[in-house]
Amino acid sequence: MTDALAGRIEELMPRAKSDLAALVAIPSVADPRQYPPERCREAAEWVAAAFTEAGLHDVHLEETPDGSHAVIGHRPPPPGAPTVLLYCHYDVQPPLDDEAWTSPPFELTERDGRWYGRGTADCKGNIVMHLTALRALGEDIPVGLKLVAEGSEEQGTGGLEQYVPPHAGELHADALLVCDTGNAAVGVPTATTTLRGLANVVVSVRALKGDVHSGMFGGPAPDALAALVRILDSLRDEAGGTRIDGLDCEGTWAGVGYDEAQFRTDAGVLDGVALTGTGSVADRLWARPAVTVLGIDCPPVVGSAAAVPGAARARVSLRVPPGTEPGAARDALSAHLRAAAPWGVQVEVETESTGSPFEAATGGPAYGALDTAMREVYGKPMSFLGQGGSIPLCNVLARTFPSAEIILMGVEEPRCLIHAPNESVDPEEIRHMAHVEALFLQNYAKAARS
């Protein structure tokens, strides 16, 4: 049966490529300031039609509280079979810098054995993975299915998170496949079991009533930008590791590691530049808080005047691992920023957003069925991986469906460069993970009957 299933998936790969090309061609960026909202609806309607053709029932668009549309559908379970919810999202990150792309961001391009384009991995590649698995099974889908394809995940506006609790009855399932992550590396079968939460703040510094001439007042006049730089520098130790008063920054990771040389390649670290912090790469990525200065408002180099800045501000993001409450992390970050202010400058810290970390329970029958499927496809046992990013929906799902098993998996891996220019996917990961998903559905149904 496994060989026959693998053969059907192999036959479906040309269709997977054409489907992905059609999806990538739709610039479904869920930000009306950048792209017309009609393009997101176009993508949603494409997804609805594709899953209808793949065997789901009553696939339709539901408007969520942030104005985006979720694609919802279902397929009833055979008698005595469990139900699995399939999650994905069809919106994508903006391409950022078009000139940094080697090929057009909204045109699927094959190069060096990979498929390039915005959304090829995150998350349109996972949509195609779902479709390929279901088409390979045909009418022999052994479980009930529910579909949720989100339309604003990348914007973080929370439409689906608000939609889920009042619609818990129609979305309830025994296992939830949240397909917005992927393997530790190509060919390494992996389930993501932890997600970092976040606390984002904006810190504003004021030192003068306004900018003043640097020739007339520079020296004694306190420089707000220099003060901000000192404040931000206090968030790291000499090795560059995050150090925030009141937060444990010494956690260790017990799952699969992340080779340092591979990390340097994946992250594009320049020759001669050291990684920041101490401990293993996995410790720093998945088990410890990590601070990032996302942006600074200050005079630009081009057009700047000979003036002492009177005010400056920065957007600061703090990623927090499971075991750290995001509200407490935000409070610690805010207190640290205020305490680090030099020269009596005025500091205001405004909370932008918070999100809770997530940790999956991995001992249930769904995880057993997934491990069996991954062993059959990849020839090796499933690894557990942390994820540095945040998926707030996972916490909503965990609260809404406390008895359901939540599995994070998919076609993404470090070389995909999600969110960056030249995003790509390895088509072999689509083929293998579609096979894994189809086998999982079969294995999970058998486990429920035994």
Burial string for 20-47 (b: 16+ CB within 10 Å, else e) reads bbebbbbbbbbeeeebebebbbbbbbbb
User: Is the separation of the CB atoms in 298 and 309 below 8 Å?
Assistant: yes
DSSP 34-101: TS-HHHHHHHHHHHHHHHHHTT-EEEEEEE-TTS-EEEEEEEPPPTT--EEEEEEE------S-GGG-
pTM, rounded to two decimals: 0.85
Strands (E), 263-303: 290-297
Q: Could you list the pLDDT tens digit for every one of the 450 residues in the chain?
A: 568 999 999 999 999 999 999 999 999 999 999 999 999 999 999 999 999 999 999 999 999 999 999 999 999 999 999 999 999 999 999 998 889 999 999 999 999 999 999 999 999 999 999 999 999 999 999 999 999 999 999 998 889 999 999 999 999 999 999 999 999 999 999 999 999 998 999 999 999 999 999 999 999 999 999 999 999 999 999 999 999 999 999 999 988 889 999 899 888 899 999 999 999 999 999 999 999 999 999 999 999 999 999 999 999 999 999 999 999 999 999 999 999 999 999 999 999 988 889 999 999 999 999 999 999 999 999 999 998 777 888 999 999 999 999 999 999 998 999 999 999 999 999 999 999 999 999 999 999 887
Report the SS3 class of residue 191. strand
User: Is the separation of the CB atoms in 197 and 396 below 8 Å?
Assistant: no
CA 378 to chain centre: 24
Task: Note the pLDDT of residue 1.
Answer: 55
Task: Note the pLDDT of residue 31.
Answer: 94
Residue with tokens 């970092």: 196
Point out the residues that are catalytic: 91, 153
Helix (H) or strand (E) holding 127: helix 124-137
User: Is the separation of the CB atoms in 191 and 385 below 8 Å?
Assistant: yes
